[in-house]
Amino acid sequence: MRLYTFIIIGFLMQACQQKSQEELLSIIVTSPSENWNGRNGQDYIKLWLNDSLIFSGTYFTQFNDTLPDVPKSFDEIKDFWGMNVALLSKKDMKYQDSLKIRLRLVTLDGMPNEDPISIDSTFYFYPIDSIFDIMFLVDRYKKEFRGYDYYHNSERWEP
């Protein structure tokens, strides 16, 4: 009987440890460029979560996906997928089963032969209890964001 109690307590402790990771939601923005860190300091990003401003600042990342010879090792790069703009606790924020994410990006330098552009998109995600990471890819030429949840669905999420 004690053995069964010990095993059950072990499984419960393991389940509690895994649950804490499932409560986090990471939102990442990637703004690709043709040059090494070419968009750093040139894009301004705002992120709203359920109509509350969560992040406002310039884009910065150490990683560039366009160069095959990255001068740093992948272990040294903390933002491999892009700029992590928010790491949210689903438990603390007391989300319902859906989430409204609004993103705005303003290019501070403009595109070649163009004025600075502004991209504004709203995404709805549900159910959010199974989503851990959401990545938004900036497409400045089409003037849109592309939303991805690679862990569960590799397909693109439309705004």
**DSSP, residue by residue, 54-76:** EEEEE---S--TT-SS-SS-TTT
Please choose, from the candidates 136, 111, 112, the residue with its C-alpha nearest in 3D space to the C-alpha of residue 59: 136
pLDDT score for 3? 60
Percent above pLDDT 70 for the chain: 47
Q: How far is 22 from 3, CA to CA, in rounded Å?
A: 29
Of 75 and 127, the one with more pLDDT: 127
β-bridge partners, 142: none
Inform me whether the pLDDT recorded for 49 exceeds 80.
Answer: yes
**What is the rounded average pLDDT of the residues 134-146?**
77
The per-residue pLDDT for range 88-112, each reduced to its tens digit, is 777 666 656 677 888 888 877 765 6
Going by their DSSP bridges, the two strands 43-49 and 133-139 should be labelled as: unpaired
Residue 116 pLDDT > 80:
no
Distance between CA atoms of residues 105 and 121, nearest Å: 9
What pLDDT shows up at residue 19?
46
pLDDT in tens, 18-38: 445 457 777 777 776 655 555
Its pTM stands at: 0.63
Q: Are 40 and 143 in contact (CB under 8 A)?
A: no
Task: Please report the sign of the dihedral spanned by the C-alpha atoms of residue 69, residue 70, residue 71, residue 72.
Answer: negative
What lies within 8 Å, CB to CB, of 6 at 6+ separation is none
In percent, the amount of the chain with pLDDT more than 90 equals 0
The pLDDT confidence band at residue 80, using thresholds 50, 70 and 90, is low
| Average pLDDT in the chain | 68
Domain ranges of the chain: 24-157
